[in-house]
Every structure is written in structure tokens, then in C-alpha cells.
Chains A and B, each alone.
Chain A
């Protein structure tokens, strides 16, 4: 009997033009939490897809308990007790939680579903691991964190022993992340093995036993977490030292650029306001961070501020001009750049080329437009400059269809595009969500660069590290209200957490 439940030996997987996995060996012990670390495009997802039977490797073997196995499709993987939660959940939105869990593994008698027994088993699992779900709720009505629990329950329902979690924390709030880690530990105690794909070093340090690091498709090594540090891991991953502390010098804020007064926005889900009577100022040369747990009105606030939806009441002034009723285009002309929360939904036209996306707000301006015709030569020249300047990497440069680019590079393209407009105000919503440390470092530098150049920056972030490191002033939003204003040097993360969860509040004076 081998020490390892799963061994992937010398796996090589190639795609046209690149070796996504080059001679990679990964061994998973029974009952361990094993992290798989690497930048975007390092080959983590490919490796897991090989294990899950979605890709066939050119070379290499897979062993289960020392026996060689062939995994041709996800059903084979499932039969071997391997389950996976994908980064983008694979759930049927209009089905109930219970239906989603049993989907594909339904017990039937005479062609009829045995839902009662399924329900009992799901509830039992849910209780045993503290994975509270409402089995009758529809997926489209529950939060992302809840959906993830459903995905985990799906694996448990199938009696999977080897659980693969692909970037499980990318969509979670700090509280949900803590809960997830506790759940992962309880799995490990029960002898289940967990493969945890991530690029967040803090989480690895907190929860993993061992960590395998990939860089550009190559194996950098497997280390015991006890014997390593965050710095060492990041060096292995990126290949150079990464600066976790955002460098910025003290700077005195200038004139008020953005001023919001008594702003209220209706909720999309309930009858009350999602944003209640919010007032705030952002000055030239300062980064104001709107912190808070997801779903406390930040999204609605930004939507109304940028013109994507209407505010119920209140006033917005940008550079002394009232833009309360202005259209999106008028706001953009008045000097507002916007890095949107959802880069696929709002930020990019995925089926357009990179060049076409780079002029998404400018295509109608000189010199990109003449007599109603787009000047493609100018567009391309401009795009190529941005690509060069903001280090956007892609297969075919300006002609690349954006859909085929990695998330990090898509985001760099958006950030580059928005910064390059040279607007007095930059609104950036979770600009680093789902990115690796290298890209995060880069985007933070760009944002701080804007501030140093005298621009006003309004940053919305759920990541406490980002809030503490990047901002000059923190505003905490809770249930649609601003409940605290802080200098990041004078408050601790714990204290901030109390305000974010509504346990404390102060009267905020402008």
C-alpha cells in the first residue's frame, strides 16, 4: 500500500504553441490539504483537468493507491472518488439546491426519483460538516458562498475521497473564507484528501500541509508549509521577490474632485434602498477606499455613481460640475474613468479584438473616427501603445480576440485603458479580483501612480489587505450606509472587521 492516494507522475500536456504541463509530478497523501500554487497560466488548471479526465496528457501516469489508473472522462474520475469544485460553478440556476446535488447521481426506483432518501442524506452531510444550506432554495436566489457549499455537498454526496477545489476563495467574503477553511480542516481530519488550487499565499499558510508550486508549466517543487514562508513561496511562484507592501510616499490631498451628497439608490431585490443617504468626497491625489462585506450596497452605489443605473435621490458633482442626471457618456467626458467590477459583463466585449476593446469609450472621438468611419490604423496604433505600456500579453497582439486572453491580461487591458484616459477621477471596483500576486502588484502600482499624478481614486475592495495597503482613507460601508471613516495607519484589521460586520459604528462627518 502506497503512502499516497493519488500520484500524478511526470505529466506532460501540450497545446498548440505551449507546453502547459512539462514533466510535472504531484503526490497527494491521505488526509492532507495540499495546495497547488502558481500564477495565472502556470498550468494549474490544466493539471487538474488531466486528473479529472478532461484532457489526455501526452506523457505521464496517474496512480491511485499505488495502482495505475486510466481516467478518460469526469465519470471515471468520479468513480475513483475524485470530485472537483470548479472556479465557475457548474450549477443549474433554476433547479433547487437538492436537485443540483443529486443531478447525475440520482437514485431511482422504477424510473422515479427517490428524493426523500436523497434529502435525508444531503441533510445528514450538511449537518455533519456544518455546511448549512436550504435544500429547497433555487440556486439563482442564493449567495455565491452558499452556491459553493452546494458544490461541496455535491462531492460529498458522491462519496468522493479526493476533493479538488479550484480557487475556492476568489468569490468569498473574509468570513466565508474562514468558514471554508474550517470545513476543509474537518474533511482532512476525516481522512479526505484535498487539493486546493490558489494563488493566495495567506490562505496556503493558514490551512495547507504541503504546497506544490508551478511556474510557466514547470514544477518548481513541493514544500512543507511548516518549513517555509510566504516570501519563499512567492519567490518560487513568480521567480523574483514580490513586494507585498505597496510603496507610496505621503502626499497631501488637493481639491475635492468628486463630491457625493445624500445619495440613495433603490435595491434591485427588495423594496428598501440599497444605498442610504451616502455623502462622501474624494480629493485630488488621494485614494479613498470603500470597504465592506460584499452585498452592503457598494455595487449599487458604484452603478448609480457611474450612471449604469439611476439614483433615487442625491447629487454628484465632478470637478465642480453637477452630473447627477448625466448619461454614462457625459460622465465619462466630464472626467470619470471606471474599472468595472465584472470585467466580462461590463468591461469588455469579449468577441471584439483587443484593439477594438481599447477604444471602447473613445471610438467616436478624433482621431479614431472621421466622418462616421472608424480609423482602424489609428485604433491599432493606439492599442499597440497601450499593450506595450501596460504589458498586456496576448497571442496575436492587437488582433487577439479578447475572449482567448487570460483573466489577468484582460484586467490589465481594462486598467490600462481606463488610466490612459487621463481622467481626474478613477473609480476602480475590485480591480485585482482573481488575479495573481504579480498582476496585483502591478495594478496596485498603477493605481498609486495615478494618485501620485494628482488624480482622485475611489477604490472599492473586499480584500482587507488591499484596503489597508493601498488606501489613504478608508470608508466602511454597512447595509448601504457609511459607518466609519479611518486612516489606515490608525486602525487594525480586527477593528475594521467590527465596523464591516455592523458591530460598531461612528458618526461620519465630512
Chain B
């Protein structure tokens, strides 16, 4: 690893530790007697039993996808805050393919890619051709996506759990009841880890991370995308079609988020709930990407980390209220995203030290 990469990793680790420290202070404030035990829970739950570890991998998969989505757009100079909407629409496409049409899981994932891609393409098109800030369009499309999907589901009786014999109407059907072939394969991992959550989702996500890394760093397409991101004028000067690349970048980012939605809802352990709140998974992709400095391979680790913290946080109940746990996790994630600042500090301190050493050498020489 080169020096810059090393600094990035160090910065991420330091900011994670800072986040932990801050989280601990909050635990102390809310419930001093349970604080130490609480921290212990956050730090170790994820590894305590194979079952919990299975859950870490299970939530890491969609997080990794939305993190990749946000990071990919960042590299191209775009802020994809629309991951939530793309994730929702992707999940919807996957579920429709699986439940309504009874298609197998890999077709469902392809459908999710298409859905997410469409939802990413629209802000991209607006940005490229009308120079409308992608943040604004993407935020609006988060809501349009959410309510559009809810509206559609309400009018597709076959999609709802009630059609398949369950008592409720505000959830999509359990895939295990509707179409077993749409379930992500478990390859026996569930028995090894003794966890109903684990399936091949995490491997699919890691595969996407590797592909994304290769595309960004090894292909002419990635070269063009990054050139556009760093300096749109220069990429235009170089004969690169900046508009095309902005749209493509958002299409790919959307597709990645869409796959995230598929991986989560095709696991068989989650059902889409018709609610009026945006899905947090898309927004959590932002700290995942930031923590990894948008590096697709780094995203694998940051997604695992955030998932690990979330699983640990769930174990804080009942000594801490659910909301307080959310706050603590948010604080840890928030401070973890300070890696940029920390990186800056490391570089500066490093430069000073280096200068002193050089001085020392100079004095010796004299």
C-alpha cells in the first residue's frame, strides 16, 4: 500500500475510535451503571455467536451496495443522496419480479438493477442537460420513489401478505410463501452459522465492490468518469462526453443501490412495510462511502463495521431505549465520517515531523 492509502486507513481507524469514545460518554450520561456493559455489547456482540455474525454479514450486504452507490457517484463528482429512493425502487422491482411474476432470484436482482438505474438516471439526465443540481432532484425522487412504490403496492393485491394467507395488508408477501425460487440461496451457510439471516448476499455485494473498483481504476470508462468528477472542463477539452458520463454514472450508482434493495428483501427475513418514512439504508450509504474515502474495496470494510455496530447496538436493549441506541449509533457513525478531517491532521503532523527529521539530518551533515 502506498503512503496515501496508509494515511487513509489510519484516519478511518482513529475516527472510529473517537466515535466509540463519544458513544461511551453518551452511554455514561444516559445510564451510568450499564455503560461499561453497554460498550462491551456494542464492541463484541457481533462476534459473540455465529448467529450474530451472520446478522452482521446480512445487514452489511445492502449497506455495502448503497455505500458503493454513493462512493461511485462521489468519484464522478456527483453527490448521490438519492440512494434511498433507488434502493426502494430496486427493492420494488425485485419483489414484483419475485412475487408477482414468480421469477428466480437472479432475475429479481437484474430487475432491481433496472429499477435503481432508472431512478438514478433521472437526476443524472436533469443534471447533464438542464444543469439542475442532482442533490435536489435526487431528494425529490427519494419521496417520489417511496410514495410511488407504496401506491403501486396498494394496487397490486397479489404483492401483499394478505393474498398469501397472512393477516396483514401493510406488508409485502413473505417470499418463502410466495415464491421460494426468489430467495437468495444460502448454500448451507445458515446451518454452519446457525443463523436464519445469512445467505449469499454479502458475497454478491463484495463481488460488486471488486467489479466497481476494477471499473473505476483500470478501465478507460473509469478514467473518463473520474476525469469528469475532478474537472469537468478538462474532460470536455479532452474530448470526453461529460454529459453522457454524468448520466451513466448516475445510472450505475442507481443500479448499485437497487441491487442493495434486492439483497435485503430477497433474503426472506424482511418484508417491505408500506410506511411514510424514507428507508435509512440509502442514507447510511453516505457514511459508509465517506468512511472508505469512496474506495470500493474500503467500502467492504466500512459497511461491515457499520453493520457490526448496528447489531451491537440492538443488544443494548432493554437497559437503553431504542431511540437512545439510535442516537449513539448515529454519533459513532457521524464521528467516523470525520476521517477526512483526521486525514488532514495526520498529513500535517507528518509533514512537520518529517521537516524536523530533515533538519536533524542537515545539522548532522554540518
Query: Which A residues, 341 to 381, have Cβ-Cβ distances below 8 Å to chain B?
Result: 345-352, 356, 360-361, 363-364, 369, 372-374, 376
- Are A328 and B354 closer than 8 Å at their CB atoms? no
The reply to whether A374 and B218 contact each other, CB–CB distance below 8 Å, is yes
With A345-B234, A349-B234, A374-B220 as contacts: A327 and B359 at CB distance below 8 Å: no
* Residue in chain B with minimal CB distance to A343: B234
Contacts of A345 in B (CB 8 A): 231, 233-234
Chain A residues near B223: list those with CB within 8 A. Answer: 356, 363, 374
B230 at the interface (CB under 8 A from A): yes
Instruction: Please determine whether B234 and A372 come into contact, CB atoms closer than 8 angstroms.
Output: no
Which residues of A sit under 8 angstroms from B351, Cβ to Cβ?
16
Which residues of chain A from 429 to 472 have a CB within 8 Å of any chain B CB?
Answer: none
Range of interface residues on chain A?
20 to 34
In the complex where A14-B359, A16-B351, A374-B223 touch, is A351 in contact with B239 (Cβ < 8 A)? no
CB within 8 A of A369: which of B220, B237, B354?
B220
On whether the beta carbons of B354 and A373 are closer than 8 Å, the reply is no
How does the 8 Å CB contact mask read for B204-242 relative to A, with 1 for contact and 0 for none? 000000000000001111011011001101111111000
Tell yes or no: B358 within 8 A of A by CB. yes
Among B219, B237, B239, B359, which residue has its beta carbon within 8 angstroms of that of A347? B237
| B345 close to A (CB within 8 Å) | no
Task: Report whether A349 and B219 are in contact in the complex, using a CB–CB cutoff of 8 Å.
Answer: no
Name the contact of A364 in the complex, choosing from B220, B230, B235 (C-beta under 8 A).
B220
Contacting B239 at CB < 8 Å: which of A328, A350, A374? Answer: A328
Q: Is A346 a contact of B221 with CB atoms below 8 Å?
A: no
Interchain CB contact under 8 A, A308 and B227: no
How many positions in chain B have a CB within 8 Å of any CB in the partner chain? Answer: 23
A58 touches B220 (CB 8 A): no
Contacts of B226 in A (CB 8 A): 349, 352
Within 8 A of A (CB), among B318-358: 351, 354-355, 358
The A-B contact count (CB < 8 A) is 69
- B359 and A360 contact, CB distance less than 8 A: no
CA–CA, A340 and B355, complex, Å: 37
A351 to B226, CA, bound (A): 10
Q: Which of A16, A329, A361, A373 contacts B355 (CB 8 A)?
A: A16
Q: Does A338 contact B (CB under 8 A)?
A: yes
Compute how far the CA of A364 lies from the CA of B354 in the bound complex, rounded to whole angstroms.
40
* A95, B238: Cα distance in complex, Å: 34
Nearest chain B CB to A57 CB, angstrom units: 13
Expressed in whole angstroms, the minimum distance between the Cβ of A371 and any Cβ of chain B is 9
Any B CB within 8 A of the CB of A15: yes
Q: Are A352 and B227 within 8 A (Cβ)?
A: yes
A329–B219 Cα distance when bound, in Å, is 19
Known: A14-B355, A14-B358. A346 touches B219 (CB 8 A): no
Q: Is A104 an interface residue (CB 8 A)?
A: no
A96 contacts B by Cβ under 8 Å: no
B235 to chain A, nearest CB (A): 7
Interface contact A327-B239, CB-CB below 8 Å: yes
Instruction: Give the distance in Å from the alpha carbon of A16 to the alpha carbon of B238 in the complex.
Output: 34
A346: contacting residue among B218, B230, B234, CB under 8 A: B234
Contact (A361, B220) CB under 8 Å given A16-B351, A350-B230, A352-B227: no
Most buried by A among B220, B231, B351, B354: B220
Residue of B nearest to A346 (CB): B237
Of chain B, the residue at the smallest CB distance from A328 is B239
Contact of A372 among B221, B230, B231, B358 (CB under 8 A): B221
**Chain A: minimal CB distance from B212 (Å):** 15
**Are A58 and B239 in contact, with the CB atoms below 8 A?**
no
Q: Which residue of A lies closest to B2 (CB)?
A: A399
Q: Please indicate the chain A residues that have their CB under 8 angstroms from the CB of B355 in the complex.
A: 14-16
Q: Are B230 and A360 in contact (CB under 8 A)?
A: no
Most A CB within 10 A of own CB, among B234, B236, B351, B362: B234
Q: Which residues of chain A are near B234, meaning CB under 8 Å?
A: 345-349, 360
Say whether A332 contacts B227, CB under 8 Å.
no
A111 an interface residue at 8 Å Cβ cutoff? no
Most buried by B among A15, A332, A346: A346
A16-B358, A328-B236 known; A363-B230 Cβ under 8 A: no
- Distance A37 CA – B236 CA, assembled complex (angstroms): 37
Tell me, in angstroms, the Cα distance from A329 to B242 when the chains sit together.
Answer: 12
In the assembly, what is the distance between CA of A177 and CA of B226, in Å? 40
Residues of A contacting B359 with CB < 8 Å?
Answer: 14, 58
- Set of chain B residues within 8 Å of A332, measured between Cβ atoms: 239
Given contacts A16-B354, A17-B358, A332-B239, contact A346 B233 (CB under 8 A): yes
Q: Are B236 and A373 in contact (CB under 8 A)?
A: no
Nearest-CB distance from A345 to chain B (Å)? 5
Chain A residues with Cβ below 8 Å from B354 are 16
Q: Which residues in A have their C-beta under 8 angstroms from that of B218? A: 373-374, 376
Which residues of A lie under 8 Å from residue B231 when comparing CB positions?
Answer: 345, 348-351
* Nearest-neighbor residue (CB-CB) of A351 within chain B: B230
Extra contacts besides A16-B358, A346-B234, A347-B234 (6): CB < 8 Å: A332-B239, A345-B231, A346-B236, A349-B226, A363-B224, A372-B220
> What are some 8 contacts across the A-B interface (CB < 8 A)?
A14-B358, A327-B239, A328-B238, A345-B234, A349-B227, A352-B230, A360-B234, A360-B238
Counting from the closest, the 3 A-B pairs by CB-CB distance are A329-B239, A346-B237, A328-B239
